[in-house]
Amino acid sequence: MKPSTTASVLGPTLTFKGELSADEDLIIQATVEGSIAHHTKNLTIGEHGQVKANINASVIIVEGTVEGDITGDDSVIIKSTGKVIGNVTAPRITLEDGASFNGRIDMKPKGAKSSRSDDKADKMGAGDAKAVGE
């Protein structure tokens, strides 16, 4: 019997507090508070998802609401229905037209570490971003 390739779903009636991690693709339609560590798989915050957590995953897609810092090992995509309040770090970042974003964007190549010049730029306000039209 083959293992399922579909994602697990945390439904909209679920409330979760604590540290969430999984070894499979995950779709969150629930309310989650705490931290999410999902480094080798894809994570989707669905339209009904309400997340107050720092998130680490391979690919992160935001269709709902996230309050916290987001780190994507490969990419972060904020869909038109998505709202993010926090910093986003990934080699590739997409903000669709209509997405709401308030925070900083850091597009470091995969595996790159912060250097002293990056820290100096941060103090000068480089990389500040805010969604247009709010």
As separate numbers, helices (DSSP H) first and strands (DSSP E) second, the chain gives 1, 12
Give dist(CA 99, CA 7) in Å, integer: 24
- For the cut 70, the answer to whether the pLDDT of residue 14 exceeds it is yes
Selected residue with higher pLDDT from 111 and 51: 51
For residue range 121-134, what is the model confidence (pLDDT) as tens digits?
444 444 445 454 44
Give the N- to C-terminal CA distance of the chain in Å, as an integer: 50
Q: What is the pLDDT of residue 112?
A: 61
Helix (H, G, I), strand (E, B) or coil at 109: coil
Length of the chain: 134
Statement: the pTM of the whole predicted model exceeds 0.85: no
Amino acid at 112: A
Selected residue with higher pLDDT from 133 and 14: 14
Q: CB 70: neighbour CB atoms within 10 A?
A: 26
- For the cut 90, the answer to whether the pLDDT of residue 38 exceeds it is no
Would you say 32 and 20 are in contact if contact means Cβ atoms under 8 Å apart? yes
Q: What is the pLDDT of residue 128?
A: 46
Cβ partners under 8 Å of residue 109, min gap 6: 91
Q: Locate tokens 């995953």: which residue?
A: 57
Give dist(CA 5, CA 114) in Å, integer: 36
Q: What is the pLDDT of residue 132?
A: 44
